[in-house]
Structures are given as structure tokens and as C-alpha cells.
Amino acid sequence: MVRMTIDMPEGSLSALRKDPQEFASEMRLAAAIKWYEMGKVSQGRAAEIAGLSRAAFVEALARFGVSPFQYSTDEIIEEAERE
């Protein structure tokens, strides 16, 4: 495990009503979801980054309104036309 330290403006935690641990967990989840949404990481790797099981990560995707499928609209249409 790699430990990283980041500097945050003092008001960030209080504005979000999070303690440092909650803030770090939420930031890991947000980053993992965004990287997954962009196709930068797989679902399994994103779950690992977020510190969640894969099932819990899929549930988090739903809460954030992100599809668990990494296919573009064009890819889905192309696949449907092949059948």
C-alpha cells in the first residue's frame, strides 16, 4: 500500500461535514468512479482503489448515476446490429 499526503484548504472538510477519514474515503471513491467512467481503470481495479468489494462498488456506481458497463452507445448499437 502506498501512503500519500495531500494539502487541502482548511474549510474543505467542514464544508462537506466530513472528518479526515470520511473525506479520504469519499475522495478515493469519487476518484475511482471517475477513472472507471473514463475507461482508465477496470471495475475490479476501481473497486480496489475505492477500498470496496466489487459488489459494493457497483452499488456505488448506481448511487453516482454511472453505468456499470464500459461500452459506448455506438458499441452497443453495433453489437445489437450484429445479432
4-21: average pLDDT: 83
Q: Give me the pLDDT at residue 73, please.
A: 76
- Per the domain annotation, does 76 fall within a domain? yes
When pLDDT is cut at 50, 70 and 90, the band that residue 64 belongs to is very high
Q: Give me the pLDDT at residue 44, please.
A: 95
- Per the domain annotation, does 2 fall within a domain? no
Secondary structure in 3-state letters for 22-82: HHHHHHHHHHHHHHHHCCCCCHHHHHHHHCCCHHHHHHHHHHCCCCCCCCCHHHHHHHHHH
Closest CA to 46 of 67, 15, 72: 67
- Per the domain annotation, does 12 fall within a domain? no
Q: How far is CA 6 from the centre of its chain?
A: 19
- The tally of domains found in the chain comes to 1
- Per the domain annotation, does 8 fall within a domain? no
- Per the domain annotation, does 1 fall within a domain? no
- Per the domain annotation, does 9 fall within a domain? no
Higher pLDDT pick, 47 / 71? 47
- Per the domain annotation, does 24 fall within a domain? yes
Q: 21: domain range?
A: 17-82
Closest CA to 50 of 35, 65, 71, 68: 35
- Per the domain annotation, does 27 fall within a domain? yes
